Chain A
């Protein structure tokens, strides 16, 4: 499913087009989700990944099918890039039985056993100990696997971050900590909540190799995560990357963004990972206006198909309400 970049330039440009496509899928999927939310098809909370696509797409290139992914409530991008179908995610947000979590979870709780996608967590920082545990299981069973743990910079204020990274470092566990620093934890700017705003330095203080990465550049993200994942896979213990990025939209749908300037948003939009990559590919002649338009239309079609899939989906029967509280024993 994922290929690492290979030396040949033709493969490299093909690869970059693939990266662009994956980012476009996330972008259009999120925009469509916003529309559907205003029409009350999607309910609860909706946290959009628009602007941060380079992080999910770049990072997933370094993961193998046997690796594990732990994510947050802003997870649609991670889920799509990991390989969950747009159909299953859209159906999940509609609450339909055909969703990846049988409709039981919604936007914040996407789970998929096939791709080892362990959610989706509504508690900031709640997934970090889980990632440590998954990595512990791999190490104890001598499985050469990586657990990638995505979280926002808001999580580093939680005690669970410090406990988790300390434990991972102490026991030298194969966790790839991927901190998506988009400068705002809901409505609180980084400078107003952290005494030390260079987040990767915090990880370094736990004796964990750590770097800051330009999260708006998909190739930079890819390169850094390749190196980091390789180190983790080689048994060198956990690795920490601070991916500096920005969300172009509000924290969630019902957020008037009183905490930041529109001018600041416009500045960051100039660094849009999709715009910059597609522009460069056009300049290099890899893509033409037509081929780009065709690509965009293909991706929109995939998104529209997922909406149709979700619309046609079924509601889980109410009689089944109390299932999945405890495991169901298989009949002998």
Chain B
């Protein structure tokens, strides 16, 4: 069956014009074959005597199938060796850029690592060029599950993170410090009276008074409430005050009490209790950890008089409180013993200046002289 075109795969024999014994010469039409395009004459390129018809009328055979045998003079030329099948070589695209030191992590891997909480640093990649792939992240997550970090490892990691943040803060933020002494007699007296009326479980700590006062005071100096990002001040509409809470084994977190300026003292107390408990059990939400718009470090219980703090970036202020201590104080020209508190403000000089910082401390003082209004 002759090939008549690359899209011809087979043909159907519809008519034989020869029979065994016939003499044929080169070019004689010997059969008619039906194809998808129509009936085509088949010629013989061999001369000789027809010996045998192999394909009957009506049969469809593929291209190359022998249709009939013709006995000719001499032998046909030997078939040449088959052509080697070439393997096409792909042209290489531009070799990808490899920047030394830049991690090669696929976007999908990066996203998944975030979801699973897998630390990408130190992962070896098995993708092209050593890139970290989804599979690599999965495997790391699996092995992390099998081998959860010890408390010591977790604490070590946390101390490292805190250290990095504090170093960065000291490096990048131009701190200025202001301090003031606040007469807490009214506040403490009010608190005592308040707490006597309440069951033990609902008693307020003076820290909550400080917290609320800070939240209200910062509304008057809004540039202290918010962030410094990419060279510009980004003050926040909301006041979420972060309370520094120390953890056993070292470590410090400052989860936010949201909308601290508009919550009651009771709400703040409940919120604070909840945060402390969850901080100590490690079940704080990530939004709580990052949402604080300014932070308070209260180290009175540790016996500290004055806190000179380091701002937790990217915030622009940190309010520090020491212990409330009875001390001599000049009241109307006479020396009396009063419960005094050292309040400090550490602030980012890019976002505010001493004048404004001073206004904040003044406001804070004033608020704490009217504790019933907090």
CB within 8 Å of B: which residues of A?
31, 34-35, 37-40, 43-45, 252-256, 258, 311-312, 315, 317-319, 321-322
Those 4 A-B pairs whose CB atoms lie nearest each other, nearest first: A38-B2, A256-B38, A254-B5, A318-B86
* CB of B167, distance to nearest CB on chain A (Å): 55
* CB of B212, distance to nearest CB on chain A (Å): 76
Q: Are A315's CB and B87's CB within 8 A? A: no
Write the chain A residue with the least CB distance to B38: A256
CB within 8 Å of A: which residues of B?
2-8, 26-27, 35, 37-40, 43, 45, 63-64, 80, 83-84, 86-89, 91
For B64, list chain A residues within 8 Å (CB): 40
* CB of B188, distance to nearest CB on chain A (Å): 88
For B43, list chain A residues within 8 Å (CB): 34
For B84, list chain A residues within 8 Å (CB): 315
For B35, list chain A residues within 8 Å (CB): 254, 256
Task: State the CA gap A31–B47 with chains docked (Å).
Answer: 14
Q: Are B5's CB and A253's CB within 8 A? A: yes
For A256, list chain B residues within 8 Å (CB): 35, 37-40
Task: State the CA gap A277–B272 with chains docked (Å).
Answer: 117
- On whether A43 and B89 interact (CB within 8 A), knowing A256-B37, A256-B40, A315-B83, the answer reads no
Q: Are A38's CB and B4's CB within 8 A? A: yes
Task: State the CA gap A210–B199 with chains docked (Å).
Answer: 122
Task: State the CA gap A317–B64 with chains docked (Å).
Answer: 28
* CB of B89, distance to nearest CB on chain A (Å): 6
For A40, list chain B residues within 8 Å (CB): 3, 63-64
Q: Are B37's CB and A318's CB within 8 A? A: no
For A311, list chain B residues within 8 Å (CB): 80
* CB of B209, distance to nearest CB on chain A (Å): 80
Task: State the CA gap A309–B39 with chains docked (Å).
Answer: 34
Write the chain B residue with the least CB distance to A44: B6
Task: State the CA gap A322–B80 with chains docked (Å).
Answer: 28
Task: State the CA gap A35–B43 with chains docked (Å).
Answer: 9
A selection of 16 A-B contacts at a CB cut-off of 8 Å is A31-B27, A37-B3, A38-B3, A40-B64, A44-B6, A252-B5, A253-B4, A253-B5, A254-B37, A254-B40, A256-B37, A256-B39, A312-B80, A318-B89, A321-B88, A321-B91
Q: Are A318's CB and B87's CB within 8 A? A: yes
Q: A38-B3, A318-B86 are in contact. List 8 more A-B contacts (CB 8 A).
A: A40-B64, A43-B6, A252-B5, A253-B5, A254-B37, A256-B35, A258-B38, A321-B88
* CB of B19, distance to nearest CB on chain A (Å): 22
Task: State the CA gap A38–B64 with chains docked (Å).
Answer: 9
For A43, list chain B residues within 8 Å (CB): 6
User: Which of B3, B6, B8, B91 makes the CB contact (< 8 A) with A39?
Assistant: B3
For A255, list chain B residues within 8 Å (CB): 37
Write the chain B residue with the least CB distance to A253: B4
Task: State the CA gap A315–B5 with chains docked (Å).
Answer: 22
Q: Are B37's CB and A322's CB within 8 A? A: no
Task: State the CA gap A253–B8 with chains docked (Å).
Answer: 11
Write the chain A residue with the least CB distance to B63: A40
For A254, list chain B residues within 8 Å (CB): 4-5, 7-8, 35, 37, 40
Q: Are A315's CB and B86's CB within 8 A? A: yes
User: Which of A253, A258, A319 makes the CB contact (< 8 A) with B89?
Assistant: A319
Of B5, B37, B64, which is in contact with the most chain A CB atoms at under 10 Å from its CB? B5
* CB of B15, distance to nearest CB on chain A (Å): 14
For B27, list chain A residues within 8 Å (CB): 31
For B6, list chain A residues within 8 Å (CB): 43-44
Of B35, B89, B91, which is in contact with the most chain A CB atoms at under 10 Å from its CB? B89
* CB of A268, distance to nearest CB on chain B (Å): 17
* CB of A122, distance to nearest CB on chain B (Å): 15
Write the chain A residue with the least CB distance to B45: A35
Of B40, B64, B87, which is in contact with the most chain A CB atoms at under 10 Å from its CB? B40
Task: State the CA gap A40–B88 with chains docked (Å).
Answer: 21
* CB of B108, distance to nearest CB on chain A (Å): 34
Task: State the CA gap A31–B45 with chains docked (Å).
Answer: 9
Of B4, B6, B26, B45, which is in contact with the most chain A CB atoms at under 10 Å from its CB? B4
For A45, list chain B residues within 8 Å (CB): 5
* CB of B82, distance to nearest CB on chain A (Å): 11
Task: State the CA gap A89–B2 with chains docked (Å).
Answer: 22
* CB of B367, distance to nearest CB on chain A (Å): 79
Task: State the CA gap A312–B64 with chains docked (Å).
Answer: 22
* CB of A110, distance to nearest CB on chain B (Å): 20
Task: State the CA gap A241–B39 with chains docked (Å).
Answer: 36
For A35, list chain B residues within 8 Å (CB): 45
* CB of B304, distance to nearest CB on chain A (Å): 76
Q: Are A318's CB and B88's CB within 8 A? A: yes
For A319, list chain B residues within 8 Å (CB): 89
For B89, list chain A residues within 8 Å (CB): 318-319, 321
